[in-house]
């Protein structure tokens, strides 16, 4: 990411007397770097220098800044959010979310920043600006609709074994048989007759208790400071996220001092997993739903062919398997218990009207959040006018914001009109 103040300083130094109008604009924006975010300044530069784009140097400056903002979009957005929160942080009310935001900005990669935003910054959704930022950042409709709720869903990666009757899948602590028509909870020995394969599946089942699985790797927490990962695509081995050379085998690794002697009993499990890596797949017909507020409860929701099931795992009352005649009943129950909406997971079973209603509610919430943000900026500008007096820049900015507000109000009114029609039809 470019140092904006330095870029503007160097550009101003290169201007001759004939381009003093350009220099005046650039100097004003350079002085604003201590008070405003880079994103705000670059947007303003694009607007103020629009009439000077016949100048090749101005064009080069704007293209370079716009390209940099596009390349480091998340970082610019985070710094802009920091600027907004810092300007409102009277009485240190936002001290903690600002600290988390600064930690996020100082991370090395966008992947790390995104993870911290969704896992830590999103907790402070009582701050309107953070709520709007995280909401707009999420691209998936399913994630967007559930981002501000306490519940979350996860993709299920597990052991799947093809048998004569269908497919066996291991979920949480039980085996399930997926047939052409339905799903049933079952016992492994009822469907696997080969003793060697039975032994292998039991080992893989044990490994599941210690493994964390994603789309690219299976990780085992061997000790407090040691995690060994196996790639699902090839024979690559990882230690604490670092890829080892192709010459390194599990046998060599577990014979080395890297693995403590007391933890070498993991070796047979990792060998078994490595030899049967193809048995671990994403089970896309299942979602795991949980909530931090209910740490003893998790549910596995099945959307399989014409059927809907839930495997409910409760540490207090035990585990139960239910079949639902109505997907809507299942969705409502999960929403009430775990504050998570599975509408998008069951949109093939829910009526079009219900899915449309949910989409309209999401649209209404999105417009409302934007409207709140615009109204806040209008009130802030009005305050500046009262203190500093009216200027052409403030008047133009206020006019643009009021036009934006009017458009959002019209959009919100249109959405509510459609909602009323949908309610009648439902």
Lowest mean pLDDT among 10-19, 228-237, 266-275, 355-364: 355-364
pTM: 0.56
Q: What pLDDT does 261 receive? A: 84
pLDDT tens digits for 91-100?
678 888 888 8
**Residue 425, pLDDT above cutoff 60:** no
- When pLDDT is averaged across residues 273-277 and rounded to a whole number, the result is 91
**Residue 117, pLDDT above cutoff 70:** yes
On average, the pLDDT of the chain sits at: 84
Between 347 and 407, residue with greater pLDDT: 407
Name, of 15-29, 135-149, 231-245, 277-291, the range with top average pLDDT.
277-291
**Residue 148, pLDDT above cutoff 70:** no
pLDDT tens digits for 313-357?
998 889 999 998 888 888 889 988 888 888 888 888 877 657 667
Q: What pLDDT does 423 receive? A: 43
**Residue 236, pLDDT above cutoff 90:** no
**Residue 78, pLDDT above cutoff 70:** yes
Between 309 and 382, residue with greater pLDDT: 309
**Residue 292, pLDDT above cutoff 50:** yes
Q: What pLDDT does 91 receive? A: 62
Residue 145: pLDDT band by 50, 70, 90 thresholds? low
**Residue 147, pLDDT above cutoff 70:** no
**Residue 366, pLDDT above cutoff 90:** no
Q: What pLDDT does 288 receive? A: 94
pLDDT tens digits for 195-204?
999 999 999 9
Q: Three-state SS string across the chain, please? A: CCCHHHHHHHHHHCCCHHHHHHHHHHHHHHHHHHCCCHHHHHHHHHHHCHHHCCCHHHHHHHHHHHHHHHHCHHHHHHHHHHHHHHHHCHHHCCHHHHHHHHHHHCCCCHHHHHHHHHHCHHHHCCCHHHHHHHHHHCCCHHHHHHCCCCEEEEEEEEEEEEECCEEEEEECCEEEEECCCCEEEECHHHCCCCHHHHHHHHHHHHHHCCEEECCCEEEEEEECCEEEEEECCCCCEEECCEECCCCCCHHHHHHCCCCCHHHHHHHHHHHHHHHCHHHEEEEEEEEEEEECCCCCEEEEEEEECCEEEEEEEECCCEEEEEEECCHHHHHHHHHHHHCCCCCCCCCCCCCHHHHHHHHHHHHHHHHHHHHHHHHHHHHHHHHHHHHHCCCHHHHHHHHHHHHHHHHHHHHHHHHHHHHHHHHHHC
**Residue 284, pLDDT above cutoff 60:** yes
């Amino acid at each position: 990411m470019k140092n904006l103040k330095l870029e503007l300083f160097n550009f101003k130094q290169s201007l001759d007397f004939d381009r003093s109008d350009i220099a005046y604009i650039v100097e004003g924006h350079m002085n604003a770097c201590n008070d405003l975010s880079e994103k705000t300044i670059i947007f303003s530069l694009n607007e103020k220098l629009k009439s000077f784009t016949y100048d090749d140097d101005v064009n080069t400056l704007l293209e370079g800044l716009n390209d940099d903002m596009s390349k480091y979009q998340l970082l610019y957005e985070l710094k802009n959010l920091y600027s907004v929160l810092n300007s409102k942080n009277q009485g240190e009310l936002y001290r903690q979310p600002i600290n988390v935001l600064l930690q996020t900005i100082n991370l090395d990669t966008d992947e790390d920043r995104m993870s911290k935003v969704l896992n830590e910054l999103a907790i402070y959704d009582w701050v309107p600006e953070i709520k709007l930022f995280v909401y707009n950042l999420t691209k998936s409709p399913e994630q967007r609709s559930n981002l501000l709720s306490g519940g979350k869903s996860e993709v299920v990666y597990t052991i799947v074994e093809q048998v004569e009757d269908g497919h066996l899948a291991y979920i949480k602590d039980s085996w399930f048989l997926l047939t052409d028509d339905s799903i049933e909870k079952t016992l492994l020995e009822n469907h696997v007759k080969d003793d060697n394969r039975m032994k292998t599946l039991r080992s893989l089942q044990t490994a599941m208790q210690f493994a964390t699985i994603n789309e690219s790797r299976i990780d085992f927490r061997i000790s407090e400071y040691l995690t060994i990962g196996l790639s699902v695509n090839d024979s690559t081995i990882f230690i604490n996220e670092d890829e080892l050379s192709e010459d390194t085998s599990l046998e060599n690794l577990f014979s080395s001092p890297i693995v403590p002697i007391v933890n070498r009993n993991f070796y047979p499990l990792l060998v078994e997993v490595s030899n049967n890596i193809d048995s671990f797949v994403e089970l896309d017909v299942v979602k795991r739903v949980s909530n931090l507020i209910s740490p003893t409860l998790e549910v596995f929701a099945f959307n399989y062919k014409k059927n809907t099931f839930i495997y409910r795992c409760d540490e207090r009352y035990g585990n139960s398997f239910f079949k639902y005649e109505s997907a809507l009943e299942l969705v409502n129950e999960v929403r009430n218990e775990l504050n998570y909406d599975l509408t998008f997971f069951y949109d093939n079973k829910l009526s079009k009207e219900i899915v449309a209603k949910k989409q309209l509610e999401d649209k209404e919430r999105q417009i409302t959040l934007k409207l709140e943000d615009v109204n806040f900026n209008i009130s802030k500008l009005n305050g500046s006018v009262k203190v500093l007096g009216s200027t052409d820049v403030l008047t133009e900015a206020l006019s643009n914001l009021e036009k934006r507000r009017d458009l959002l109000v019209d959009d919100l009114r249109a959405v509510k009109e459609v909602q009323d029609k949908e309610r009648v039809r439902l």
